[in-house]
Structures are given as structure tokens and as C-alpha cells.
Amino acid sequence: MSTLSRRDVLALGAAASAAALLPGRSFAAIPTGVKVHGLSAFGDLKYKPDFAHFDYVNIDAPQGGIFNFSPPNWGYNQNTETFNTLNSFTPKGDAPPRMGMCFDSLMARALDEPDAVYGLIADGVTISDDRKSFEFSFRPEARFHDGTPLTAEDAAFTFKLFKDKGHPDLSLSLTHLEDAVAVDPRTLRLSFSGKHSSRTILNVAEFPILSKAFYSANPFDSSQLNPPLGCGAYKVGRWSAGSWIEYERVADYWGKDLPVNRGQNNFERIRIEFYQDRTAGFEAFKKGEILYREEFTSRVWATAYDFPAFTAGKVVKHEFPAETVPSMQATAVNQRREQFRDPRVRQAIALCFDFEWTRRNFFYGSYERSQSCFEKSDYRAEGMPSPQELALLEPLRDKLPPEIFGEAVTQPASDGSGRDRKMLGKAAKLLAEAGWKRSGDFAVNDKGGRLSAEFLVDDDTFVKVYSPWIANMRAVGIDATIRLVDPAQYQRRQSTFDFDLISVAFSFSATPTRDDLEIFFHSSTATVSGSRNLPGISSPAVDALIDAVGAAKDRESLTVAMRALDRALRARRDWIPSWFLANHRSAYWDMFGFPEQKPDFGFPVEALWWFDKGKAAKIGKA
């Protein structure tokens, strides 16, 4: 249910508000015609050109040991339950998480700033006077794992390949890329049409750079189980398709002493095991076969940590604060299906979900109700629209639901009974208004066809959690069912939009770009296989609000545009918000060290933690 974007996924409240309202200048404040060492959305950079390392790392961290963990997040075509390809960047197939560790990018993101990137492969970038082109100067020492130089020709090849054949997470940001040119072996020029958002480059600069030689000799498709030639801190080691994979730290990694890398990538090996059942994964953790996991099952967190290793103090439970980034955990209602195109039907389905009952009976009181597509951030709309929000919404009034101009739409609280008669009565009334009349046990249309809805899940946990929701839907006449499928089929059906209802969790960057939002909400992605626009949103008004986000010149105007967009999405009821946690519920065998201060905008445990020999010896894991 969790997905990692390239803006790696998962302090809320005041901290999030502060992050979103930091003083800022427009991207236009970054000078043109001169080489700069970093970029940010509004021109502010924490680290100076001569910085030695990021503040949140331990530069004295020892190196070595193995980190065997269950990834809590992932992206592109990756899957945590199986894998059948080692190409993570195509739209199809199931790749193992963390393949990105094998590749470097032009620039690397700082996790203690909302949107800043600093030189990695490139030691700097020069922006053209018209701000349509970006010239990156490459470090001469950049190398692939076979020792061959990494050149601008490889990067130019990569961006053209991603635009043509890449996963939508990559290709959509390159929509307005006109050309990628190797000016010389150490200079790459990326030229855009002028229709791009000024912040597009922040995403593009983080894309992995591939070897032209490797992918000229090997197909760039989802059939590849041939380990790709990389250039990052790790490379693919041993693996067994669908079962486990190991990433080995590259001893002579060319970039290990760069400021953006110091104090990171400390483990000698990183191993990922694949379990199609959560119970099996937890049992492996209890035995010490898995060393770190985030717990997403409230019952297990509340009641199951009573096994011998935990009671002996060998295993630790710890809650780390979540990132100050907007997040969304919600159910998509697929409007490509005719029966879900009326928003009253989508609202009726939402009213059948009794969160209060679910929280008490399944979540042990640990989750909060989500209301927004941008939860845990200052982008969540509250109360009535501000004058600034109305200035964006009024020109679109005839294309928007009227509720947008009142209080921000929220999901009502139930009486907690599990069968709230008032909410179910309202749901039944909405279905009738939408043309679905009750006939016996089912709601039918004027042709006698039943209103059906199938919930697609890939884990038995969600069968349990969603069964009461299904029962309430059936109570109001919806022919509702749950279908549990294997991980590969789930991924395939999600990518091709072959579902009625599906629940997912995503995080956005702290400073969302138009590209980030288009893949989730824009009309242009409604028919793009593999996009995150799971409901099939196709709305000129939503498109216009996304454009307003892209055009924002400072954090204040960005926040206004994001809140206006949030109001629109919530009133349209494309997504049914579900729940969220304020913290990471982490459990680990007590054999690791980690920085005392967790950065606000990321939590890559495998990159920032280290193996502690002393602790490991005390628990018999040396």
C-alpha cells in the first residue's frame, strides 16, 4: 500500500506549516549564465559551494555489516512481494525495490531542505538566459562499475530513452524536453520548450543515469534479469528471482567522498527478502532473518511484540517522526467504469466506510482519519476559501462542484457502530438521485443492471479491514465484492487500470511541482498506463489548478494554489481519503547506529544507518 516516489516517501502540524511557508524567492532568482552548485525551487540553498557534507549524517559512521530489511516504500515498477525483472525504469514488470541505489544522478537531494539539490555526477549547472536550457558540467572522475567513464553522451542517451520508453514517473517530467545533447564528453545540455514548469529541472536532475553501451547491447524492457551496469554506491549481487536480492557496496565507488555522499551508504550488503504474506514477513523478523521493518499492521504493533527476542531486549520498537511532506492514503474510484462517473455514487461509497469503527476494532486507536490529498502538510485546505484561493477558483466556477466554494469537504464521522443508519441512509438516497433504484437486494439502473463494485487487494490484511466496508455497501444495494490477487497480477491490473476500487498510499515532495501532480491528477495522464491517475481524473478545472501550482513564484502562492487544488479534488470525490499515521512505527534488531537528528524530508534508513559491532555482539549478531 505504500509507494516511494523519486521524492522518496515517508513533525507534522506546525513543522509542516513552517516548512511550507519558509521565506523564498522565485526560481528566477537563481542567476543565469553562471555555474551554480545547487538548485532549489525558490532560490534558497542551505549549503554553500564548499560544504563538506550534509548536517544530518554521521561522517564517522563505520562501514560494514549487512542490512536485511523489508522496504516500507518503493516507486517506478517496483514490488515488495515479488520481482521478475531488474529493469526498474520501464512501465511493465515487477522490479525489486532499491534498484536506484545502483545508479547516480546529475544532482542529489538534501533531506533537510524542502526541495534543494546539489551536484553529484555534475559539479554544477548553468541556466541559459531564457531559462529553457540547463548545462551540466560533469565530474571527470565519474565512472560506471566496469571502470568506463560516465559521460554526457550516456546522460543524453538516458534522457531520450526515458522520454520515449521510460516509466511514466520518468517520461511525464520529460514531456517538454526538446533535446538532450552532449556538447562534449563533460557537458550535457537539456533544452526544454518553454512550456515546462520552472521546477521541472528539480525532478529531472534526480533521474538515474544509465550506460549507453549497456542498453545499446541489451533491450530496455521488462524481460531483463541481466543485472544492469550501474554507477552508484551499490551494485546487484546475488539474487533469486521473486525471492531475495542482495546489493553489494562498490569498494571503489567513484563518488564515495563527495559532499552529497559522505556519511552515507555504510552497509557492506543490503538484502531484501520477498514475502507475499505479511505474517510470513513478521515471522522472519522475529527469527532475525529480517533485521528492520516498519510496522503497518496496528494489531501486530499493539499485541504481537511479545516474542523472546523482544522481551530479551534484542529487538527495539521505536517511533520516528514522519516527514514534513504531503501524503495521501486513499481509495481510488475508477471513473473509467461508467457506473462511477456520477460523483454521488462515489460519495455514497465513501459514506459506507465507517472509519471510527475500523479504528477501534482494527487499528487499536492508532490511526487518524485522513481528509486531504495532501495530509500532514500546510497544503491541506481548511474552512472557507481564502480570497487568494477564490481568485483561482472563481474563473473555474462552472467547471467545479459548488461545494468547493463552501467549507472544505470532509468525510463525516460515524457513530462508531459499524452500521451508522444515518450515513447509510444518506448513501442510499444519493444512489437513488444518481438513477440507481432499489430492486430487491440490489440497486439497479433503468436497464435493470446492478451497481457493482469490486475492491482489488493483494494482502489478506485488507480483506479483513475492508470486509465491513463491503458489507455496508451491500446494505445500500451495491453488489460489492473483494478480490484478492497475487502481487504480480495486482501490479499489472493497477498499471492498466483494471479495477473498480483500489487503495494506495503516496507521498509528494515538500515543494510539489506540476510534474509531480500531473501524474496523479491531470487529464493528460488519465489514459497513460502506469500513471498514478488511478481514478481517471479528466477535468479542465483540475488541470488549470495544477498549472497554477506550476506557475507559483513563491511559497505563499504555491500554498494557495495547492489548497485550491485540494478543495477541488476533495469536492470531486475522485479519491476517498482513508487514514494516516503521525510517525514511522519502526522495529529493528538492536545492532545499528543512526543519526540522533532525523532529517525532516526523508528517512532512507538503509543509506543513513550503520552496523554497530558492539551492539551486535551483545545480542549475538556480531
Nearest to 86 by CA among 254, 237, 299: 237
Burial of 345 (0-12, 13-18, 19+ CB in 10 A): buried
Residue 37 has pLDDT above 90, yes or no: yes
> Residue 622: its pLDDT value, please?
84
Query: Are both 564 and 428 inside the same structural domain?
Result: yes
Across the range 281-302, mean pLDDT stands at 94
Q: Which of 223, 240, 257 is a domain's end point?
A: 240
Domain that holds residue 546: 327-581
- Give 45-99 as a DSSP string: -SS-TT--S-TTS-TT-----EEEE--S---TTB-SS--S-S-TTSSSS-BPTTG
Across the range 376-391, mean pLDDT stands at 96
Helix (H) or strand (E) holding 20: helix 14-20
State pLDDT tens for residues 158-204. 999 999 999 999 999 999 999 999 999 999 999 999 988 888 999 99
Give the position of cell 554497530. 612
State pTM to two decimals: 0.88
Residue 619 has pLDDT above 80, yes or no: yes
CB 293 within 8 A of CB 70: yes
Q: Which of 201, 220, 240 is a domain's end point?
A: 240
Specify if 274 maps to a domain. Answer: no
Residue 479 has pLDDT above 80, yes or no: yes
Specify if 600 maps to a domain. Answer: no
Q: Mean pLDDT check: name the lowest of 281-290, 397-406, 508-517.
A: 508-517
Distance CA 384, CA 393 (A): 12
Residue 320 has pLDDT above 90, yes or no: yes
Residue 101 has pLDDT above 50, yes or no: yes
Specify if 147 maps to a domain. Answer: yes
Residue 500 has pLDDT above 90, yes or no: yes
State pLDDT tens for residues 321-355. 989 899 999 999 999 999 999 999 999 999 999 99
Query: Are both 223 and 347 inside the same structural domain?
Result: no
CATH number of the CATH domain containing 99: 3.40.190.10
Query: Are both 198 and 80 inside the same structural domain?
Result: yes
Distance CA 270, CA 70 (A): 11
Query: Are both 100 and 235 inside the same structural domain?
Result: yes
CB 30 within 8 A of CB 36: yes
Distance CA 73, CA 506 (A): 9
CB 2 within 8 A of CB 72: yes
Q: Which of 224, 240, 256 is a domain's end point?
A: 240
**Mean per-residue pLDDT over the chain, rounded:** 93
Specify if 252 maps to a domain. Answer: no
Query: Are both 368 and 464 inside the same structural domain?
Result: yes
Query: Are both 230 and 338 inside the same structural domain?
Result: no
Query: Are both 114 and 231 inside the same structural domain?
Result: yes
Across the range 430-444, mean pLDDT stands at 97
Query: Are both 228 and 351 inside the same structural domain?
Result: no
Total domains in the chain come to 2
Query: Are both 337 and 206 inside the same structural domain?
Result: no
Residue 414 has pLDDT above 60, yes or no: yes
Specify if 154 maps to a domain. Answer: yes
Specify if 614 maps to a domain. Answer: no
CATH number of the CATH domain containing 526: 3.10.105.10
Distance CA 182, CA 552 (A): 31
Residue 388 has pLDDT above 90, yes or no: yes
Specify if 490 maps to a domain. Answer: yes
For residue 271, the SS3 value is strand
Query: Are both 351 and 483 inside the same structural domain?
Result: yes
Residue 2 has pLDDT above 80, yes or no: no
CB 317 within 8 A of CB 587: yes
Distance CA 76, CA 63 (A): 29
Q: In the structure grid, which three cell numbers stand for residue 46, read together?
A: 542551505
For residue 597, count other CB atoms closer than 10 A to its CB: 9
Specify if 374 maps to a domain. Answer: yes
